[in-house]
Each structure stands twice: as C-alpha cells, then as structure tokens.
Homo-oligomer: A and B are copies of this chain.
Amino acid sequence: MPRAGQRPRLVDVAERADVSLATASRALAGRDGVSAQVADRVRRVARELGYVANPYARTLAGGASSTVGLIVHQVDDPYFSEIAGGVIQLAAEQGLLVQICQSGRDPAYELQQLRHLIAQRVGIILISGSGYDDPRVEAEARAELAAFQDHGGRVAAIGRHALGVDAVLPDNEAGGRALAQHLVDLGHRRIAVAAGSAGLTTVADRLAGVSSALRQRGLPPSDLVVVHGEFTRGGGRAATEQILNEHPETTAIVALNDAMATGVLSTLRSRRIPVPGRMSVVGFDDVSVAADLAPSLTTIRLPMTEMGRTALTLALKPRSARPRRRSTGHLLVVRDSTGPAPVA
C-alpha cells in the first residue's frame, strides 16, 4: 500500500498487481519474460497509481541514467540557445531531462564542467561549440570522453570534430567560401574578416573557406584583412573599429558569426556608413534575429535546431566502432546587407 503522502514505489505497484518486484520491474521496462496478460495488468496498475520510477534508484541499480548533459559556450548566445532548443525538444519527446552547463568559451572551465557532468553520472553528454586549437586541452577532453564511453556513457559533439566522438558538423569551410564568393561576385576586392578568437577551430575553418574562395577567384591573399576578437557583438564592434581605422579601403566585412555581424552593423550605423552602399556585411549562422536587423543580414543558414536534435539522436543510438559524422546542410541567404562594391 502506498504510504500516505508519498509517491508510490515499485513495490506498491507490484503488490497491487499481485506480482513480485522483479516482475513488475520487467513489465514496466518492457523486458520479456513476462506474459502479455501480466504485463498489461502491471502497466494498468502503475498508471492508476501515477507511478513514476525514481530515477536515482533506477540509475543506482544499474539502469540507464535518463539525463543528458549539454555543454555550450554561452546559453544566451542565440546560436547556442537555438541548438539547445532542439536538444530540449527531442529530449522532452523521449522523456529525458537536459542538464545544461556553459563554459564561457574557456577551455579549462569547459573541461571542468565536463568532468563534473561525468562525475554526476549523466548518461549522455552533448558538447556544442567550437573546439579549441590547443591540442593539450582537446586531448584531455578526448581522453575523458573516451573513458566515459568505455563505462557505457554516450557522447555526441556539435560543430567540433577533434573529440573522437559522434559529431554533427556544419561545413564551415564551404560556408565561408560561399560568403566570399558572393562578395567577390558583387565586385568586392578589399574584404576584411571580423573573426572570433584565433583559438577556435570554427573560426579557422570558416576563415579557410574565405581564403580559398579568394584564391579560387585569383585574388591575392594579401588583400584579405583578418581581425580577431571575441565571437560576440562586442567583438564585432571592436573589430569594425579596427578595420575602419587601419584599412579604410575595405568595402566588405565578413563576420564569422551573426553575433559579430550584429556588432559590425551597429558600429557602421553609428559611424553613419551606409550598408550596403558603402560597405557590405555578411554573417554566419542565420540566428533568428538576422532577418530583423537593419539592414537584414546576408548570412549562411545553419539548421541549428535540427543540429541539436541530430546530436541527441546520434548519442541515443548504440555506440559504433568508429565515430559517426553527420554533416548539416547550409545555405547562403542573401538579404539587404550586401550589394555591389562601390565604384572607386
């Protein structure tokens, strides 16, 4: 009999269904070795009692943990919150709970968060954001994750490939290439890049795409100005100041994510530089505000919600011998922030 004012336990269900604890457990887990008739009875009783398994007891006893940990660089960056939205959506559909952590783009702190999640025995870890160029940190994270997987943990990464785990990967290089080609086709020759921190692999990849497009179009690489800063609006503002001061001949700015692009646009506006009349601007990611900026932003669309869902899907599947990769599509979305290069 359920104790008054307490949630029903498995024994309560078992007693009321007149079976043993083991049978009740098996029936609810959908394991076989239980006749259909008994299984039905148990499930019915469980429903009547409003029984929900205690996840702590379940996990302790060796059942699967039902929580997924998600590490992002920063939750209030739309790129990450849209990815998180996808993860949370699918997790809810699967009856999983999502534990979310942010690393603040600090590799050491991220590693600490990762260890914390592992120590807390979450079942699944999703890790999203750029990898770090620092081989030491990445190697440590990789080792930690490998050990975690050996103990039955499940892992997937979003947007980073050096971790030795299943990953969903946008083609950052192709995206960068598409942006640069678009600008070159509009006649731009003096292009500057507002890049995120030099240590992030995403930055390197997108940048490589931009460079390769310029090479393809036969432009001297020396024409490309690259300014590194934070992958944020503030970083975009700072980079813009620097570009305007040091390279006034620039006619187009490639911001390597939309957050920076937002900062770029904001600074250009306050400097009263017409966009795209005097300066074209492109971003990357297509976060949902990109369409509502003024002018609306030309950018590369990444299916962020979908990326979150796919990552969780990967982690939910049984582990494969070799890390799986899922590449995501991307799409150049041309809006109002780009136009023909001004005539000199």
Residues of A within 8 A of B (CB): 5-7, 52, 54-57, 59-60, 65-67, 69, 74-76, 78, 81-82, 84-85, 88-89, 92, 95, 97-102, 113, 116-117, 119-121, 147, 150-151, 233, 262-263, 265-266, 269, 288-289, 291-296
Contact = CB atoms under 8 A, between A and B. Distances in A.
B7 A119 contact: yes
A193 to B, nearest CB: 20
A4 to B, nearest CB: 12
Q: Kindly report how many copies of this chain are found in the complex they form together.
A: 2
B92 A85 contact: no
A59 B57 CA distance: 9
A75 B81 contact: yes
18 contacts: A54-B60, A55-B120, A56-B59, A56-B60, A56-B121, A60-B60, A78-B81, A81-B81, A92-B102, A92-B113, A97-B99, A99-B99, A100-B100, A233-B288, A233-B292, A262-B289, A266-B292, A292-B293
Contact of A269 (B59, B66, B294): B294
Contact of A289 (B54, B150, B289, B296): B289
A309 B158 CA distance: 28
A101 B88 contact: yes
A52 B59 CA distance: 16
Contact of A76 (B59, B60, B81, B296): B81
- Counting chain B CB atoms within 10 Å of each CB, the highest count among A81, A95, A116 belongs to A81
